[in-house]
Amino acid sequence: MSERACERTNEHSAFADATDPCSTGDATERACERTNEHSSPESMLAAVLVRRGEPLSVRSVRKPVPGPGQALVRVRAAGVCHTDLHLRDGVPDSPPMPLVLGHEIAGEVTAVGSDVDIPIGERVLVYYYDGCGACDWCRRGLENLCRTPAAKWGFDTDGGFAEYFLASARCLVPLPADLSFAGAAVLGCAGTTAMHVVGAVGKVAAGEDVVVIGAGGVGLAAVQVAIAHGASVIAVEPHPASRDRALEYGARLAVDPAAEDVVAAVRTATGGHGSDVVVDTVGNHDTPGQAVLMAQPQGRVVLVGYTDRPAPVAVVSVVTRETQVLGSVGATLADAREAMALAADGSLRGCVADEYPLTGVNDALARLAGGGVVGRLVLVP
């Protein structure tokens, strides 16, 4: 067994000694706080997915200890992503369980392995892919496409819905001095995903028109990143507060799909040509097909959002207009570093809708599932 495989096994072994389970579905926040107060220095609270489709269980588990190449991070903020809902509900597949969810993580380094030179107290963002390091994808810096990663934190290995988090030191990105933990955490997925969508996949260039479907966490970040690339942005979003935020972040137009024909509105706003790039962060039954019709000939349609159901697309339009339909998943370590650079110069802001204690994780997930959240909800363990 490889060293990385051994480390991954050790990370999951925390549940072998889990004590004092405290489910947020049945226990009060005060009971969870009592568990935390009386836990030993070797334990911590974590929100654990135990069974598909059920509320997460907030319980005391063993605090991990960093080995070679690793760092222990005191989690100060963890964003709550739609992907966490997918994982909880098994869409498209169930993750290994028990599993601590959470892949948008920011915090402080509290301990490191003997070969790691990161200073204790360093404020960091966690890049959530830990690729195998040996495949062609990893060698090209595309760890998000690695087929045999050592870990995908919050997806197949314990993530950041916990008081402490064990990471590979190489996956930690220093935070700008004036960026809050909450602001950084929401950029850990939403911001880095937007970097990848707009740059590596969409290849947005200055002067181009970009449509962003959905003004949630990823959508609002995509608006900002596209503008940083010199593009003119149109946002498509049904919720008024999210449309207003997209305009605040620099979109020149925000279209309500519930009030007008969005394809016609985009064509009118682009002089009848359609958009150079269309980014679909929603991925429901209707939006991929709309995205194709919004694009100009040889336009690029980038699909980011998804469900477990098929969506109809006008294939004849794709063929006769030479539309490029592209997928985009996650981000690279380079994207994470670039996102922090944009945050440092003020070009990219993380939109924090509200903060919850770790014991409120199921309330946060329920609110997110209900829709209408402007930006990201954040857990503050």
> Per residue in 238-263, pLDDT tens?
999 999 999 999 999 999 999 999 99
pLDDT score of 9 more than 60: no
Q: Where are the domains of the chain?
A: 3-189+331-380, 203-327
Q: What is the pLDDT of residue 342?
A: 98
Question: How confident is the model at residue 40, as a pLDDT?
Answer: 63
Domains 3-189+331-380 and 203-327 in one fold: yes
Class of domain 203-327 as given by CATH: alpha beta
Mean pLDDT across 11-27: 40
What is the dotted CATH code of the domain comprising 3-189+331-380?
3.90.180.10
Q: Are 304 and 237 in contact (CB under 8 A)?
A: no
**196 Cβ contact partners less than 8 Å away, ≥ 6 residues apart:** 144, 328, 330, 331, 332, 335
Classify strands 376-380 and 352-357 as parallel, antiparallel or unpaired. parallel
**pLDDT (tens digit, 9 = 90+) per residue, 358-374?**
999 999 999 999 988 99
DSSP-assigned beta bridge partners for residue 234: 211, 253
Q: How far apart are CA 174 and CA 224, in angstroms?
A: 21
Helix or strand holding residue 265 (H, E): helix 262-269
- Show Cβ contacts of residue 329 under 8 Å, excluding neighbours closer than 6 positions: 144, 145
DSSP letters, 268-317, are HHTTTS-EEEEEESS--SSHHHHHHHHEEEEEEEEE----SS-----HHH
Provide the 3-class DSSP secondary structure of residue 339.
helix
Residue pair 269/253 in contact (Cβ under 8 Å)? The answer is yes
Q: How far apart are CA 64 and CA 11, in angstroms?
A: 7
Half-sphere exposure of 149 (CA within 13 A, CB side): 21
Contact 269, 234 (CB under 8 A): yes
| 53, two tokens | 């489709």
Whether residue 31 is predicted with pLDDT greater than 70 in this model: the reply is no
Helix (H), strand (E) at residue 253:
strand 253-255
Rounded-to-integer distance, Cα 218 and Cα 225, Å: 10
**46-76: per-residue pLDDT in tens?**
999 999 999 999 999 999 999 999 999 999 9
- The tokens for 180 are 């809050």
Higher pLDDT, 28 or 364: 364
Look at residue 143 and tell me whether its pLDDT is greater than 90.
yes
CA angle, residues 13, 96, 214, in degrees to nearest 5:
125
| Contacts for 88 with CB less than 8 Å, ≥ 6 apart | 49, 52, 53, 54, 56, 101, 365
Cβ-contact 236, 278 below 8 angstroms = no
Q: Tell me how many degrees the CA angle 192-197-201 measures, rounded to the nearest 5.
A: 130
Tally the C-alpha atoms within 13 A of residue 67's C-alpha that lie toward its C-beta.
10
Among 276, 264, 335, CA closest to 301: 276
Q: What is the mean pLDDT of residues 11-17?
A: 44
Query: What is the rounded CA–CA span in Å between residue 213 and residue 190?
Result: 14
